Structure 1
Amino acid sequence: MEQERELLVAYGQWRRNDSASAEDRLEQLVDIVAALLSRSVPADSMHLHELGDTGALAMAYEFEGRDFLLALVGRQEPPWGGVLVHAVGAARGALWAVLYWPGEQANEELVHKIGDRGTVLDRAHLEAAVAGLSPLADLVRAALRRRQPHVPLAELLGVDAPAAQQLELTPLARRMAPLPVESKTWAGVTAEVLLVGQSQSGRPRGLTSLPDERVLITCSNGLLEVDTGSGQARWRLLLPGCHGGALVCRDGAVLVMCGSALVRWHEGHLRVVAGAFEEGAVLLPGPDDEPWVLSGFGAAFGVGEGTLALTRAGETVGDQLRYPITFNAAVRSAL
């Protein structure tokens, strides 16, 4: 994960560097995009093109036997028609897309003009790739397969898709037959069965308590919100790869680990907050419920170097601050 963390640092510096010219920022972005693509495509297949005198650049590359071209458009008010004409010429029949990087969302005029000739990706797609939620080459290919001028990140990852399997939970009092369950732990604590559901292929991966006797259960498909009194359940977030307990913010947004990244879901909008965490990373509420992540492992018995660290996630990709911890044993959680 060291290279991934270094790229996160480089991206954070690029995003905050408002004093640099648009040309310098574009050149720095080319290096970031090249590093992201090199994780999936042969390095010798990548070639940089200038799109005429528009000030835009494009990266041509080969991915899984097909040719692609990704145009990097950075001007605030470019002649979109000229950019697209040059992009078509540089593509030479290859599949092509545009990465609009100045703003958080794709430019509406650019999306309108590209029509069905290609597709537009925005900063949310780029940050998802930087944080390790999904490879950039996969995101470009998936967006082009939709044959739409712009596909938001949430829709591209299937967040709005219907649940493959609706879970049904029943309060224990409604069951006709008794349910044999071990209710006492070795420490003397007594557990109470609230709800009973059907057997699942995968165990729940996390649990978060909510007001009004509700809970968020982290499943392999996402976050399931359950009323512990009635057993009614609905998908709060449908996103494969979620794990660990979620963190609910004061504004109603939900944070949860997904793969090696930390994502934020609020009012139908998905964005990545931080990333490049080792497998098994744990989301923790810090002071004022600020998100922190415990990741890595300690060097057991003093052999080798551990990667254990606490990371202050920050508000967006590139803001995270990592604090390494020296500890010669495994650590599962912290507070």
Structure 2
Amino acid sequence: MKVDAVVNTANPNPVIGFGVDSGIHKKAGHELLVARQKIGCIGFGDAVVTPGFELDARYVIHTVGPVWDGGNHGEEQILSSCYRKSLALAKEHGCESIAFPLISTGNYGFPKPLALQIAVREISSFLLENEMQIYLVVFEREAFALSEKLFKSVSSYIDENYIRSKILGEYGTESVYTSRLKTRRRSERLKGRNQIFGEIDKSKTSKANFDMSVGAPAPTEVDDWGTLLNNLDAGFSETLLKLIDRTGKKDSEIYKKANVDRKLFSKIRNNPEYKPSKTTALAFAFALELDIDETKDFIGRAGFALSYSSKFDVIVEYFLVNGNYNVFELNEVLFAFDQPLIGA
């Protein structure tokens, strides 16, 4: 990784361990061990910094993760501390980018799904207040193992929609079963839309009337969101900025939630004609917590659509329909189904 700092899963004693520790020392050269020996022992959950020597990185941040012992000996708190202290050191040394391994999941035996949750939580928390490009480097698909319940639920949704699309394309017909599914899905969309519109400050918007048969605002009276999303003259960039204004949140809160970096957001903000990738457009839709119909309109302004002929699109819709706007969890699911990830 060509970053300002790499994080090393260090041995608490000033010796070279196995796995990531061994690999980093091998690439950095003997000087890294000398620097490490000058520091001495490191406590569990602590972090220290040395130069990167022969590495592409300027710094190596050494942190000692917990040894898994059943989960009742503060392992989670220690692991959280590893990420927090490593990020604090990176910030202190002016780093703009950092790469982490999935700490303690090798010889120390920390369960990978739980370790991933802790890593994402601590990284997300840091990014809410700071600017930094953070990479989480994993070496096995097992690290992204989904819960059985979520995997089965997404698989079922794919079967109901993606497979249905293939059947329609093959035979040009749909069963009573899929007709019922369409009715249920439309009801879920309406419920999600009503929840979002109900959160808008009524003092700043006009009353919204809905034609419940189609799930769209009646053409006679539309509130600010409806006006915005039905303004065909507004492009993606203009629409995005207005939607952010409607949330009352800072730009940084939205683009960080979307897992998009500041440089890319600046390009979008400063170029009214900017055309993002589909994954970036969807990342902003999730950060803004748009419902399924609003998302389709929003990404349509960048020239994209959602289709049941795409497994990627069906997974995205599953999250939208279920009101789950966690971009990191969505990417875990997309990764598990061999689909591209959303965000920058």
The interval holding the TM-score normalised by the smaller chain is under 0.3
Normalising by the residue count of structure 1, what TM-score does the alignment of the two structures yield? 0.27
Normalising by the residue count of structure 2, what TM-score does the alignment of the two structures yield? 0.27
Structure having the larger proportion of residues in strand: 1
